[in-house]
Amino acid sequence: MSSKPPIISIEGVTKRFGDHAAVDDVSLTINEGEFFALLGPSGCGKTTLLRMLAGFETPTEGTIRIDGKDTDGVPPNRRPVNMVFQSYAVFPHMSVADNVAYGLKIDGVAKAERDRRVEEALALVQLEGFGGRMPDQMSGGQRQRVALARALAKRPRVLLLDEPLSALDAKLREAMRFELASLQHKVGITFVMVTHDQDEALALATRCAVMERGRLIQLATPSDLYEFPNSRFVADFIGTVNMVEGTLKTDNPTEAIIATKELGDVYIDHAVLGNEGATLYLALRPEKISLFRRDGVVPPKLEDCPEGYNVVAGVIDHIAYLGSESVFKVILTNGRQMLVIRPNLTRWDQEDFVEEQPVWLSWHACAPAVLAG
Amino acid sequence: MSGENWRQERKTLLATLGPPLFWLTLFFLVPLAVVWAYSFGRNVGLTEIEISGTFANYAQAIQPLYLGIFFKSIVMAAACTVICLVAGFPVALAITFAPDKVKAWLLLAVMLPFWTNLLIRTYALIAVLRDEGYINLTLGWIWKQVGLVLNVPPFVPLEMLHNNPAVLFGLVYVHLPFMVLPLYAALDRLDRSLIEASLDLGAGHFRTMMQVVVPLALPGILSGVLITFIPALGAYLTPDLLGGPDSQMIANVIERQFKRANDWPFGAALSFLLLYLTFVMVAVQALIQRRRGAR
Ligand SMILES: Nc1ncnc2c1ncn2[C@@H]1O[C@H](COP(=O)(O)OP(=O)(O)OP(=O)(O)O)[C@@H](O)[C@H]1O
Ligand SMILES: [Mg+2]
């Protein structure tokens, strides 16, 4: 992509608390202007990694470079990054304007220029005219925006956000999600955001790092994380998935067959490049499976289910109608449960598929992600 | 449990509140009222006091001699409070930011003097400060070593006892925990991320201290000041044992009225002036807190 050096480069960073490694040998780079998300379950070390970027924790091992400069020994107040805290950390004894002006005063920005930049920052987060209020007169979402404005007013090279939306209710969170995205577009500052909400990460980030127990598991764009997970952990953590265990039966340059107990032989239209007999996992997303009525014993018509598709038989056990789509719990003849998602494309779509209806499940040979571990 | 429930259960309420209420009335309010009545009385005979409703005792209490002692007591207590604040703040800060394990021990170290008898502590202080005390012994020893090499006059022990600095030192020593504990309570409640936010926005540690920590710890500072100042103002044992002839504070004067001078009505009047002073300070503090709270 660009030839610019990365704004943040994390090289072999480990952070130990006692003998527990909260962050374990993580290496990654973040490019200028990116919206980078750190994603992972609770306790996986996301906050710790972010706090090392801000300077509140020192790596036990490894190097962190910001803007090409080694940050070793550089205190938080000397780093070109600013943080939006999970608890917002808006100073309760200062007005909103004073909160936003706090960092500018320290930088020695003259009063007139300061006032201008405070106004500008408040406008950016749509809080014009709120400068005179005290924080306890603001709602949670507004306080969160004060924290954003306060950090943005400093015009940092990188903005660090620790679960910025987690304290908001679902509706507000959704709204703020869009605001954050458009804000990042407007200011062009690199955002590094910690979240354990995968929807948030997928919706906002240009790239995501998925962490588990201190380790970096996968670093990819949101769509690659979803469509090409590199492990069962990522496939399971991002979205819902039908996970099936099998062994590699045939492996050719153009196709492979994986024998499974639950789905029989599954055809894959690409090489798997594994040892025959090796244990593999198929991660099959629910929306990649098609449903067909199974009124006789014959498989679906050929034009409905073209060459290269896999087919198994089952019975609809339960339907969750979600409006735009329906989620089907299907029990296969061998007892295995599969999730299928089907968009409700017409207004009478759901009539064909009711509970107890025997169905064929079918998916394309390229649909499952084949995972080694 | 709701207040309604409690009100309905009159008997339970009476059984739980009754004894302490009875105790307080009998041994605190009644004697206080008696002393208050005495302050409007006069001595008739050696042990008899006539409650005549006179204000003569109060008139005597606000004579320059006693006002001077009041003033001196206030100055001593204020100096003690300021020193306790300046010395106690870093201590409270250190305890707040100590690792959890160390914290418990540091708090214990602050509390320990509380559990030691004041008299014992004061005599221990005398053992340290007197002419043949530990400080002078140490200084004398150093002086002697110097004397082996250089030609110096003989060592004269420093006079550290029976003067105003000794009283002040004693007051600070006794009252420091009163300051440290409320300060610690306030600092410990403080949201750490506010401090981190200040650092993150470019402030140094000193600026963070002055603009974030101190303003937010202000309620704790205020109660610390009050909790230190009030007992220091009424200090009796410390000026009595560590002070010189000019070091007496108001409590010493009051004691003398009740004992040697046998002028209970006048002693009572002095006591109540002190009490009123305390009330005013508590009221002022409550007012400030209310104003802060209302904002
Ligand atoms: N100061 C500390 N001392 C000791 N252990 C710590 C400290 N900070 C974090 N840890 C540990 O390090 C691990 C990672 O913590 P971290 O806060 O980075 O997790 P996280 O991914 O942000 O989780 P969450 O989503 O719950 O916020 C946890 O096991 C935590 O207990
Ligand atoms: Mg966290």
pLDDT digits (tens, 9 = 90+) for A188-223: 899 999 998 888 899 899 999 999 999 999 999 999
pTM (predicted TM-score): 0.80
For ligand 1, atom 29: residue with the closest CA: A43
Q: Average pLDDT of chain A? A: 90
List chain B residues with CB under 8 Å of A150.
Answer: 197, 201
Phi, psi of A76 (to 5 degrees): -55, -35
Q: How far apart are CA A14 and CA A20, in angstroms?
A: 10
Q: How far apart are CA A45 and CA A21, in angstroms?
A: 9
- In eight-state DSSP terms, residue B155 is P
pLDDT at position B1 is 45
At B158, is the pLDDT very low, low, confident or very high (cuts 50, 70, 90)?
confident
Residue B5 included in any domain: no
Residue B72 included in any domain: yes
Instruction: Give ipTM to 2 decimals.
Output: 0.81
pLDDT at position B8 is 65
Residue B20 included in any domain: no
CATH number of domain containing B119: 1.10.3720.10
Q: How far apart are CA B196 and CA B216, in angstroms?
A: 14
pLDDT at position B48 is 82
Most A CBs within 10 Å: which of B200, B208, B292, as the mutation test of the A interface?
Answer: B200
CA distances from B241 to B121, B172, B272 (A): 11, 15, 24
CATH T-level topology, domain A240-372:
OB fold (Dihydrolipoamide Acetyltransferase, E2P) (2.40.50)
CB B228 within 8 A of CB B149: no
A47 lines ligand 1 (CB under 6 A): yes
- In eight-state DSSP terms, residue A232 is H
The residue type at A264: G
DSSP code string of B11-31: HHHHHHHHHHHHHHIIIIIHH
Residue B200 included in any domain: yes
Domain ranges of chain A: 8-236, 240-372
A56·B202 Cβ contact <8 A: no
pLDDT at position A186 is 86
pLDDT above 50: residue A302: no
CB A177 within 8 A of CB A204: yes
pLDDT tens, A177-195? 888 888 898 888 999 999 9
CATH architecture of A8-236: 3-Layer(aba) Sandwich (3.40)
Among the residues of chain A, which ranges form H helices? 46-54, 96-106, 111-124, 140-153, 170-187, 198-204, 222-227, 232-237
Looking at the 3D structure of chain B, how many domains does it have? 1
Centre of ligand 2 from the C-alpha of residue A207, in Å:
19
As a whole number, mean pLDDT of residues A302-308 equals 53
- In eight-state DSSP terms, residue A360 is E
* Domain range enclosing B243: 67-294
Closest CA to A67 of A107, A28, A27, A32: A32
DSSP code string of A117-145: HHHHHHHHTT-TT-TTS-GGGS-HHHHHH
B212: nearest CB among A77, A91, A103: A91
